[in-house]
Amino acid sequence: MKVIIIKDCKDGKVNQIIDVSDGYAKNYLIKNKFAIPVNKKTSLFLDKKLENEKNEELKKIAEANELREKIHKIILHFKLKETNNVVHGSITAKKILKALEELHIKLPKHSLEDHVHIVSLGLTVLNVKLHKDVIAHLRVKVEKDE
């Protein structure tokens, strides 16, 4: 019997069609709401659901690309104190996210590279993960505080 998985289980992932024995399908998968039997109605439902998910994914990618273009135009400026060529302090991911929020760009805290601690003067380019397929490059310029 062919069934459509509607909840992840050991037999398959969501929206996957699998072929299992009749007893297993009726007595376990369907009974415990892990799957529904394949027929005309459920096949149309699955097709519509997959199409909606695809459209949502394309929409998210388009929004991420739009945000990437905004981020590419930005250079964030920070100042750190320096004495005898030794920089005091660092620029953290939290400070960068706060500066971006002031520019009306809200990002999740884990979208920046891991372990962002800028401790040197000059220009640094950070990778910002906006989507699994879209990565932006944010420029951060650290200058000497007078």
Q: What is the CATH number of the domain that holds 26?
A: 3.40.5.10
Q: Are residues 109 and 132 in the same domain?
A: yes
Q: Are residues 42 and 98 in the same domain?
A: no
Listed as own residue / partner, the contacts of 93-98 with beta carbons closer than 8 Å and 24 or more positions apart are: 96/126, 96/138, 96/140
Predicted pLDDT at 18: 92
Q: Are residues 56 and 80 in the same domain?
A: no
Q: What is the pLDDT of residues 86-131, one digit of tens each?
A: 888 888 888 999 999 999 988 888 888 766 788 888 898 999 998 8
Q: Are residues 76 and 134 in the same domain?
A: yes
Q: How far is CA 90 from CA 30, 49, 74, 136, in A?
A: 56, 47, 20, 22
Predicted pLDDT at 85: 79
Owning domain of residue 117: 66-144
Nearest to 118 by CA among 144, 89, 146, 97: 89
Predicted pLDDT at 37: 93
Q: Structurally, how many domains does the chain consist of?
A: 2
